[in-house]
Structure formats: C-alpha cells, structure tokens
C-alpha cells in the first residue's frame, strides 16, 4: 500500500458510506479506502464467491479518448498499445497495455467502445489509481492534434461481483442481464443514467457501474439493500484477484516487465503481431519467438505459511532464480498461493522450487493459473 500523510489523501464519493458501514480506512494509491468492514476479509472474500460483493473502485481513473471518428481514435491509441481496437465492436471492451518505447508496461487498462454510433469517435478506458497522472502525461505526449484526452473526475465507479450479481442488478437495470462478458451499455439504474459493463477483477461474473459522483451513494445504497450483497474492501479484493491469477500493477507488472515475460501475450492482437507497429514490436516479437529469460508463474507453497511479495525463489541447489510478486492465503482453497517470476527453465507446471523465508528454504511447486476457475458469462 502507498503511504500518504492524512492531509494529502483523497476521498471517493462513497467515503461517508464506508465510514457509516464501519469500514477500516487505510491509505491506498493516494486515497483513503476501506481495507475491510466488520464482517472481515475472510467472510467478504467467500461471500463474493458465493453471492455478490460491492466494491468501491472510484479511485481508478476514468478517461475518454476523443477523436473525429473511430478510425482516427483507434490509430492514436494503437500507437501506444499492442491491442487491436480496429476490430472492437460497438459496446465491447478489451484489456490492454500501455507500452513504453522499450516494451515495459506503463500500465494495464480496460478499453471500451461506445454502444452508440453517435459517440463512435470516443473510446473510454479505466486506468490504475496509482498511475493516473503518469498515464495522462504519457498519453497526451503521444496524441495527434485531432485527438484529445478527457479525464472524468466527476464520475464514480462501483463493482458488483459474484454469481448473484446478474439477478441483483437486473432488479434495478433489466438491460444488464442481456450483456455478455466484456460488453457495455448506456442504461438507467432506477432512473439514474449509468454506463454498465459486464466485467471486473475477481474472476467472477459481475459488473462495473460508472455513474456521476452525485448519484454514487444512491446506487450503492440500493445495491446494499439487496440481501445477497455485502460491502467488500481492499483486502478481499486482493485475495480474490490473486485466486484468479490477475496481475496487480506495481507488483506483478511494471515498467521493468514486458508482455511476454508477464504471460500477457494474449493482449497482443493477431493483426498487431503481423503489422509489428506497436512500441518495441521487434523486441517483443523476438521474445515471443525465441522465449523470454523469465516468466510469470503461479506458485503453490507446501504447508500453510504464505509467501509474501519480495520473497526470493531458489532452485534445489539454493541458487536464486526469481522472486514472489504477489502472495497470500486463498480462502477458497484453504492454502497459500503466490505469483512470481522465475527463470524460464523453471516455469513448467509442477517444477519443484524453494521459497526463502527468514533464511530457510520452504518447498513449493509451479502451478497452473488461474488457481480458481474464472466464471465469466460468455456468449
């Protein structure tokens, strides 16, 4: 977590609601955010997997790239990413990466094409809270004169995640049921204008709801009145995304990692691979063909002791071959889990490795990812 003095911390539009609900507030990415509520991280985690959890993700950066038409806006964005947005349909979303000139990952983000022809020169995207200002400067420095970046600080973002999410949201927005995974629509929630996408970062079926800040508490309170819904803090958000083997920026990916090493090559569009016209394309394509020196892998430690971020990984001779980038305990598996980078020779599933904890080697094995099957509603 990012340390800030209380005077400099920002607050989301749901801050008062978090306090009312008994949220334990902590500094995170420049904001005062709830790490958990009275139910506790374990119950919040399991409840999200079993029913539905409500997350405040308003600290994330909502942005709009605006050009004269879709083709122009796409060209501007594709100059900074390896994603294929030319083929992105109306009302569809795609995960992508902002890439530095050397192929390092500046940020990972979600891109959405409007569901309306009237706004088809606009692409919306959501970036990580800790990278907002960095991303804004990065993008603006690379835009042509006929494309602009607009920030949306006047909007809140609420995530509803879990198997009961569809039933719950449909009571307030019937259109939500018709969405498939990675689809978005402009709709009304109890009469309030919202942008709703079927997406999220827990591995569960669920939605993200973008709404003007003044209406955020109204929407959140309506969802919390539903018997299936509990408020969920940062602690369970982290354990849920770890079970789903989803990267956390600043831990599993950063400007020192590339898409191939990070096991994110699926974010590189087929057309983009052929055209090789994205940042560091030659370098990244070479890594794809010949292999990267290190790879992000899943790790299952033996025993019950969790391996934390920064833990060194060694081979049987004791030679350090990598390190843990995310680690914790899985409530669903009742076991520790981790992700980290190892030399590629040790990246095969089942490979025996050792985690150096307090100077002692603890046995572990490379595991397939995700640790918990994703349950997105596709098709």
The answer to whether 374 touches 163, Cβ cutoff 8 Å, is no
Read off the pTM: 0.95
The per-residue pLDDT for 8 is 87
103, 104, 110, 268, 358 from 255: Cα distances, Å: 8, 4, 18, 17, 29
From first to last of its 379 residues, the chain has per-residue pLDDT tens of: 344 445 689 999 999 999 999 999 999 999 999 999 999 999 999 999 999 999 999 999 999 999 999 999 999 999 999 999 999 999 999 999 999 999 999 999 999 999 988 888 999 999 999 999 999 999 999 999 999 999 999 999 999 999 999 999 999 999 999 999 999 999 999 999 999 999 999 999 999 999 999 999 999 999 999 999 999 999 999 999 999 999 999 999 999 999 999 999 999 999 999 999 999 999 999 999 999 999 999 999 999 988 899 999 999 999 999 999 999 999 999 999 999 999 999 999 999 999 999 899 999 999 999 999 999 999 7
* CB atoms near residue 219 (< 10 Å): 23
d(CA 212, CA 286) in angstroms, rounded, equals 45
DSSP 347: -
H-state helical runs in the chain: 15-20, 41-50, 70-78, 132-140, 165-170, 216-224, 234-243, 270-275, 281-290
Cross-strand bridge partners of residue 10 = 31
H-state helical runs in 172-248: 216-224, 234-243
All structural domains of the chain, each given as residue ranges with its CATH number in brackets, are: 6-58+154-243 (3.30.1360.120), 62-150 (3.30.70.1400), 265-367 (2.40.30.110)
Taking Cα atoms as reference points, which of 86, 78, 68, 88 lies closest to residue 148? 68
The answer to whether 311 touches 358, Cβ cutoff 8 Å, is no
d(CA 369, CA 245) in angstroms, rounded, equals 6
Cross-strand bridge partners of residue 126 = 62, 110
The per-residue pLDDT for 6 is 52
């Amino acid at each position: 977590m990012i340390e800030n003095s209380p005077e400099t911390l920002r607050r989301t539009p749901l801050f008062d609601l978090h306090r009312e609900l008994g949220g334990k507030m902590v500094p995170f990415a420049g904001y005062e955010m709830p790490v958990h509520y009275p139910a506790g991280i374990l119950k919040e985690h399991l409840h999200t997997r079993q029913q539905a959890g409500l997350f405040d993700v308003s600290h994330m950066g909502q942005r709009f790239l605006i050009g004269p038409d879709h083709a122009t806006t796409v060209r501007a964005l594709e100059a900074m990413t390896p994603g294929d947005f030319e083929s992105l349909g109306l009302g569809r979303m795609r995960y992508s990466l902002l890439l530095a000139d050397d192929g390092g990952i500046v940020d990972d983000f979600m891109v959405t094409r409007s569901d309306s022809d009237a706004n088809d020169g606009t692409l919306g995207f959501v970036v990580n809270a800790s990278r907002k200002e960095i991303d804004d400067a990065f993008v603006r420095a690379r835009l042509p004169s006929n494309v602009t970046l607009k920030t949306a600080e006047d909007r809140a973002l609420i995530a509803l995640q879990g198997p009961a999410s569809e039933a719950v949201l449909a009571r307030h927005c019937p259109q939500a049921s018709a969405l498939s995974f990675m689809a978005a629509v402009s709709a009304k929630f109890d009469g309030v204008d919202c942008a709703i996408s079927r997406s999220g970062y827990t591995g569960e079926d669920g939605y993200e709801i973008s709404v003007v800040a003044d209406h955020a508490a109204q929407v959140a309170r309506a969802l919390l009145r539903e018997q299936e819904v509990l408020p969920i803090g940062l602690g369970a958000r982290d354990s849920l995304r770890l079970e789903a083997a989803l990267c956390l920026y600043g831990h599993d990916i950063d400007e020192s990692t590339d898409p191939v090493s990070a096991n994110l090559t699926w974010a590189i569009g087929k057309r983009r691979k052929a055209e090789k016209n994205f940042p560091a394309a030659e370098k990244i394509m070479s890594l794809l063909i010949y292999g990267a020196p290190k790879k992000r892998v899943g790790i299952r430690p033996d025993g019950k002791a969790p391996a934390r971020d920064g833990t060194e990984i060694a081979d049987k001779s004791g030679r350090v071959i990598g390190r843990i980038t995310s680690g914790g305990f899985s409530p669903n598996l009742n076991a520790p889990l981790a992700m980290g980078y190892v030399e590629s020779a040790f990246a095969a599933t089942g490979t025996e490795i050792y985690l150096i904890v307090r100077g002692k080697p603890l046995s572990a094995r490379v595991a397939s990812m995700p640790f918990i099957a994703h349950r997105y509603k596709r098709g």
